[in-house]
């Protein structure tokens, strides 16, 4: 529906707002999310060709309080570093830059492909695995023009035991996503060779159980420097590191599969400009963030001459993953994270509903005893605001996220930093 999309403060917050022109450069941080109010819009399963379309140089960019005006937008190849967070998305989030919006939607569709390819038919021989071979998968789900070649399927299983043996078969490795690399033609459009890892969200009973294992555990990814203060959610960690030797299609942990494949692709394209993009929905966004941290901590995102390959995480409806030390270490290592969340989505507020960023310090100066057990979000947040009383499940649905991003293009009101901090 061609309805106006407005950026608004969530209900209950002070009404003070600051209006900006759409082209004004703005500083952005995780403390100043953009909230796009789309509650009056109906969900439409529109054609998703816009997600993979090249943004033209003449792009209609709306101006607050007035009609849309044509403004020159650089091709993606000229500014892909900014789109991938080289400057922490300053001036690109409030409002969303058209190139950034297009890239978020494009990566969202590449994550949605995991769901469309996932076999949920209990009678199938590929039950809870991918329905298609790597060469046909994107074409089979209607994304033949995505411009990526799949190089490896990824499988994972959490190290959990369900009570009384219920769902024991679901504890085996299941297809969790894929690794792909941009084709020559797509690499020319993108301005670099993009290595993509895409993760689906929670489906099996053991994965749901892992989501509720909210105790923090040391990551210890680098044996030479284990950093015991860097802690992550134990369920996500087990899904990432557990080695299931009984897997039907593969052996080895999700972590080992990914580190091996990405290292191979980096070595293969070492003479080109490379980006590593990790995208996931819900639980998949947690795996994407763990992988991003792991690559950077081990230094696997490096060219042979020691230069750093940028690692960017596009997180859709993602929960918190680790504590403040984990967040700070990700920032220190240069892992860029763009979190797309729906303010009505409860998953994005977990774990750490009570013990989170705001519960660490008393009166702004005194660190509380449980501070190291508090969860913290990582990165820059783009907060959508949509809710359909007739379909409560839509608040966490990936396609609903994509639909809102495709339709929010008009009038914009941005909450000031002080307003968001008060909220």
Active centre residues (catalytic): 282, 345, 396
Question: Which residue in this structure is represented by tokens 């690559």?
Answer: 295
166 class by beta-carbon count within 10 Å (0-12 exposed, 13-18 middle, 19+ buried):
exposed
DSSP 177: E
Phi-psi region of 145 (alpha: psi -120 to 50; beta: other; left: phi over 0): alpha
Distance from C-alpha of 76 to C-alpha of 68, rounded to nearest angstrom: 21
Closest CA to 23 of 86, 75, 81, 66: 66
Question: Which residue in this structure is represented by tokens 């500014």?
Answer: 79
Strand partners, 314: 279, 338
Closest CA to 278 of 270, 289, 268: 289
Give alpha helix (H) positions in 50-141. Answer: 76-83, 98-117, 137-140
Strand partners, 6: 37
Give alpha helix (H) positions in 123-216. Answer: 137-140, 184-190, 205-211
| Tokens (6 digits) for 254 | 């999700």
Residues 6+ apart with CB under 8 A from 365: none
Strand partners, 50: none
DSSP 172: S
* Strand pairing report for 231-233 and 216-218: antiparallel
Q: Maximum CA pair distance of the chain?
A: 63
Quickly count: other Cβ atoms within 10 Å of residue 271's Cβ: 9
Asked if residue 95 has a cis previous peptide bond (ω within 30° of 0), the answer is yes
Quickly count: other Cβ atoms within 10 Å of residue 25's Cβ: 10
* Strand pairing report for 216-218 and 174-182: unpaired
| Tokens (6 digits) for 268 | 């293969």
Closest CA to 100 of 76, 121, 118: 76
Rg of the chain taking only CA atoms, in angstroms: 21
């Amino acid at each position: 529906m061609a309805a106006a999309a407005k950026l608004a403060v969530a209900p209950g917050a002070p009404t003070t707002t600051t209006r900006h022109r759409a082209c004004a450069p703005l500083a952005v941080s995780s403390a100043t999310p953009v909230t796009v109010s789309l509650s009056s819009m109906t969900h439409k399963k529109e054609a998703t060709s816009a997600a993979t379309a090249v943004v033209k140089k003449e792009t209609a960019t709306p101006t607050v309080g007035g009609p849309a005006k044509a403004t020159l937008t650089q091709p993606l190849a000229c500014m892909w570093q900014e789109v991938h967070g080289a400057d922490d998305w300053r001036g690109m989030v409030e409002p969303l830059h058209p190139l950034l919006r297009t890239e978020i939607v494009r990566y969202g569709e590449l994550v949605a492909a995991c769901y469309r390819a996932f076999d949920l038919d209990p009678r199938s021989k590929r039950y809870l695995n991918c329905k298609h071979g790597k060469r046909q998968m994107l074409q089979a789900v209607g994304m033949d023009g995505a411009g990526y070649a799949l190089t490896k399927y990824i499988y994972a299983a959490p190290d959990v035991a369900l009570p009384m043996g219920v769902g024991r078969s679901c504890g085996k490795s299941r297809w969790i996503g894929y690794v792909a690399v941009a084709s020559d033609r797509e690499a020319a459009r993108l301005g670099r060779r993009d290595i993509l890892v895409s993760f689906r969200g929670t489906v099996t009973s053991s994965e749901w159980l892992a989501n509720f294992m909210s105790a923090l555990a040391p990551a210890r990814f680098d044996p030479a420097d284990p950093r015991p203060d860097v802690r992550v959610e134990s369920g996500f960690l087990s899904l990432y590191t557990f080695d299931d030797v009984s897997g039907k299609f593969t052996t080895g942990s999700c972590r080992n599969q990914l580190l091996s494949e990405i290292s191979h692709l980096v070595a293969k394209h070492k003479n080109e400009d490379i980006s590593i993009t990790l995208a996931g929905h819900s639980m998949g966004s947690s795996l994407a963030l763990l992988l991003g941290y792991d690559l950077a901590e081990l230094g696997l995102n490096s060219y042979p001459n020691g230069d750093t390959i940028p690692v960017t995480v596009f997180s859709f409806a993602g929960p918190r993953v680790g504590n403040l030390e984990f967040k700070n270490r990700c920032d220190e290592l240069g892992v860029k994270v763009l979190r797309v969340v729906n303010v009505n989505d409860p998953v994005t507020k977990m774990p750490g509903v009570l013990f989170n960023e705001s519960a660490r310090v008393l009166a702004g100066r005194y660190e509380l005893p449980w501070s190291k057990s508090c969860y913290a979000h990582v990165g820059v947040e783009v907060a959508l605001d949509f809710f359909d009383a007739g379909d409560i499940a839509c608040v966490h649905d990936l396609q609903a996220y994509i639909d809102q991003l495709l339709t929010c293009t008009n009038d914009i009101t941005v909450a000031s930093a002080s307003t968001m901090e008060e909220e």
